[in-house]
């Protein structure tokens, strides 16, 4: 399956469900086969609890490089967003953008955060910043296209989806 196809499958998972509640993740909640000694695999896991645990280990490690710390804050912010913990998501993602203003993954996630907060003015600003930061990333166009589609702008949505397919 293509990258855009996988992203389209997962697109509905980016915004937390309205009634979701946050439960603090613990190491005992790791997916089977993922060990505490493998924080990079954990941090890149699609399971939010596993990602939060792994990313936190990376963030707190003294030997972590700035690049890896930014990656961990980005992934943890997205995991928090997916779990409905918007305050922690915003804190992590805002920190990333302060450290790396052109981080398209964090900017896109902030766009999703603002959309979930019903602040579409800031959401589109973040999505547009993500496109400017990385105009060759199909996922940026896919996320902005989803935003347009959810807001009833099918022409803009289709333009972004076409661009995402062309980049894939």
Task: Supply the pTM of this predicted model.
Answer: 0.77
Is residue 162 over pLDDT 60?
yes
**What is d(CA 79, CA 122) in angstroms, rounded to the nearest whole number?**
20
30-56 tens-digit pLDDT: 445 545 558 888 898 889 999 999 999
Total count of residues recorded for the chain: 168
For residue 61, count other CB atoms closer than 10 A to its CB.
13
Higher pLDDT, 80 or 24: 80
Is the distance from CB of 86 to CB of 117 less than 8 angstroms?
yes
| 139's tokens | 């996922």
For residue 166 the two structure tokens come to 């062309």
Instruction: Please state, as a whole number, how many other Cβ atoms lie within 10 Å of the Cβ of residue 112.
Output: 23
């Amino acid at each position: 399956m293509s990258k855009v196809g996988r992203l389209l499958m997962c697109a509905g998972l980016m915004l937390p469900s309205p009634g979701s509640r946050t439960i603090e993740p613990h190491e005992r909640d790791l997916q089977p086969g993922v060990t505490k000694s493998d924080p990079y695999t954990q941090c890149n896991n699609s399971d939010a609890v596993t990602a939060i645990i792994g990313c936190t280990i990376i963030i707190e490690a003294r030997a972590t490089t700035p690049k890896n710390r930014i990656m961990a804050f980005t992934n943890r912010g997205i995991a928090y967003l997916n779990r409905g913990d918007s305050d922690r998501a915003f804190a992590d993602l805002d920190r990333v953008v302060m450290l790396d203003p052109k981080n398209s993954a964090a900017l896109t996630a902030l766009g999703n955060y603002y959309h979930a907060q019903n602040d579409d003015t800031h959401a589109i600003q973040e999505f547009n910043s993500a496109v400017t930061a990385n105009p060759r990333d199909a996922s940026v166009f896919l996320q902005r296209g989803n935003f347009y589609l959810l807001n009833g702008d099918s022409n803009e949505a289709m333009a972004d989806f076409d661009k995402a397919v062309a980049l894939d």
